[in-house]
């Protein structure tokens, strides 16, 4: 979706805002453990899905997902939409720890979401899975991660999930 920009009005104000673009940061391919189903709580149907391992790679970063320190806390809506709160820990090949927190949504048609829930392999173009992401580190050479705004496009696989994370520049 593109929103119209009134160039005349922008010129009247004497400033122009740049259009953001996306810079690839990494692709994470994570394995999933058996979900812990809390059931229907006062806040909705809750599940915790462990991320049990995986690797990530990008133009400037690569490494592994730290198992035991990574999971997706989900709220499943009555229509099958998943509100996700993903917290995972990455370790770069240089040994640097990254604390990653992503909040987002996975939604689609009832039929597609039911197929995902059954563990079927569903083409990610059939649904939407997006997150906003924050990355924190103590490494001085990676301080740009602490200051960045990131988004991710994700896809669910039968035994895993893929997140492609981008810096909004």
- Output the domain CATH number for residue 25: 2.40.160.20
Is residue 39 in some structural domain?
yes
Q: What pLDDT shows up at residue 4?
A: 60
Give residue 161's domain range. Answer: 19-168
Average pLDDT of 2-21?
A: 71
Q: What pLDDT shows up at residue 49?
A: 95
Q: In this model, does residue 33 exceed pLDDT 80?
A: yes
Q: In this model, does residue 8 exceed pLDDT 60?
A: no
Domain count, the chain: 1
Indicate if the alpha-carbon torsion angle 62, 64, 21, 137 is positive or negative: negative
Using an 8 Å Cβ cutoff, are 107 and 113 in contact? Answer: yes
Q: What pLDDT shows up at residue 7?
A: 57
Is residue 84 in some structural domain?
yes
Is residue 5 in some structural domain?
no
Band (16; pLDDT cuts 50, 70, 90): confident
Is residue 9 in some structural domain?
no
């Amino acid at each position: 979706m593109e929103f119209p920009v009134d160039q005349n009005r922008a010129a009247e104000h004497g400033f122009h805002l740049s259009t953001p673009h996306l810079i690839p940061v990494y692709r994470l391919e994570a394995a999933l453990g058996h979900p812990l189903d809390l059931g229907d709580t006062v806040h909705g149907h809750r599940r915790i899905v462990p991320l049990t391992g995986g690797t990530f790679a990008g133009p400037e970063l690569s490494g592994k997902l730290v198992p035991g320190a990574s999971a997706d806390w989900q709220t499943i809506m009555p229509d099958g939409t998943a509100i996700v709160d993903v917290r995972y820990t990455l370790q770069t090949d240089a040994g640097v720890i990254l604390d990653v927190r992503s909040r987002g949504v996975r939604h689609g048609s009832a039929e597609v979401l039911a197929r995902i829930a059954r563990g079927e392999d569903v083409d990610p173009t059939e649904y939407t899975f997006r997150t906003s992401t924050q990355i924190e580190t103590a490494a001085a050479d990676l301080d740009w991660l602490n200051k960045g705004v990131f988004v991710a496009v994700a896809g669910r696989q039968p035994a895993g999930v893929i997140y492609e994370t981008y810096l909004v520049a």
